[in-house]
Structure 1
Amino acid sequence: MDNNFVHLCAANVVEVQRVKVLLEENGIFPIIKDEGESARLAGFGSASLMQQLWVAKSYFEKAKSLI
């Protein structure tokens, strides 16, 4: 991941979507990293339902306080 982004949290798909909406309502637009979906699309398959939420470094403290 680009050095301008930092890992905020990892959770199941539903929880990540809830946090994503909360952040977007507060002007923070996160990136969702889903390694399970990437593996599936590449033909490897994965049973992982976990996703990672990344935000720009400049918004990290604000995002952390919101969740």
Structure 2
Amino acid sequence: MPASNSNRPICRDCGGFPVVSITTGARHRDGSRVLLRAVCRACNGIGHPTPAAALSARR
């Protein structure tokens, strides 16, 4: 799990791993793999849940 310097809670949906790469099985011309990036929709890729006060301020 990634090291965290803050006391903020870790996102319960992604467990602190907000962005992952998934291989498609295909390869580029140079031989590297084609990857898709998936970002956690609950925390928007930051690894920590958004405080409720910030959610109400956006509206």
Q: Scaled by the length of structure 1, what TM-score is found?
A: 0.28
- Between 1 and 2, higher relative CO (CA 8 Å, sep ≥ 6) is seen in 1
